[in-house]
Amino acid sequence: MTLSFIFPGQGSQKIGMGKELFDSSTEAKEVFEEVDNSLDKNLSKIIFEGPEKDLLLTVNAQPALMAVSVAAVRVVENFSGKKLHELGDYVAGHSLGEYSALVSAKSMTLSSAAKVLRLRGLAMQNAVAVNVGAMAAIIGSDLSTIQNLIIKSVGANEVLEIANDNAPGQIVISGHRKAIERAIDNSKEMGIKRALRLNVSAPFHCSLMQSALEDMIDPIKNLDILTPELVLCNNVDALFITDPEKIKDSLINQITSRVKWRESIEKIKNQGKVNQFIELGSGSVLSGLIKRIDKNLDSVALESIGDIEKFAKLV
């Protein structure tokens, strides 16, 4: 049996994330310093001290979350005395977490990931004017019902699409703000348990991000990507990919495509080899989703030094 490592995406950011790792580990400190140097910006100060409004900016949140995840990976490798590919076979990341996964699998350098995530965050933030787009979480419903909700709620020349299939009963929709508001209103009469507008700065993972996708084609195509040391299960197709050119295409298409997180976890599970999912980075959102996907799956989040020390003793 083996492990699969998973990496969180936007929404998991919080002031102070990674600070204990920074203070306790030379390897973690070097990660934050390299990201700061690569961006020519003291991102670490924003991560550790805020203000929160600056950390919430997509252009900062994306490289920040990646830095925290990679710092956790470096501490795991130091404490265990093993490289990640010696501990597990698969990686997967939720949206921007896919970049964290690729850095951790030695497919992409830390510096190049930081730079391209800053560009990605800026492109996504600028793709849609403020208050034009929105996102909402739909709780306690299935894909078929939500597809009907979309048909009922979307107006002429509007976009309303499924952005994240996170877990059974937890799906996120994205699109024009007015269409999202209609969907929230219509959800009540369709027997949906709860529909909640999300506090996000743009309508991610829908076709409103098309200009961001176009802006990112060249930066992603120009990345030096190697075959990852662990197999990546990607967001766009929920398929295993290791070919660098296919990885680049996947990262580009991901910007406007649905995050197939439920399908990705099921794909890894169905290989019959993974006995535990290890979440590396800020928070434990993904570990919670895995329990919703399959209550028999084991998942643990490694965020603190204590968490990592305990894990390292077992491997």
Positions annotated as catalytic residues are 95, 205
Report DSSP state, residue 195. Answer: E
Q: Measure CA of the first residue to CA of the last residue in the chain; give whole Å.
A: 12
8 A C-beta contact, residue 136 and residue 73: no
Of 6, 149, 5, 140, give the one whose Cα is nearest residue 85: 5
Q: What is the dihedral of CA 66, 201, 301, 69, to 10 degrees?
A: 10
Residue 215 one-letter amino acid: D
CA-to-CA distance for 226 and 206, rounded, in angstroms? Answer: 28
Measured on CA atoms in the order 34, 38, 40, 41, is the torsion positive or negative?
negative
Which DSSP category does 262 fall into?
H
Give the C-alpha separation, 315 to 308, whole Å.
11
DSSP codes, 10-67:
TT---TTTTHHHHHH-HHHHHHHHHHHHHHTS-HHHHHHH--HHHHHSHHHHHHHHHH
Mode of pairing for the β-strands spanning 194-197 and 133-139: antiparallel
CA distance 85 to 105: 7
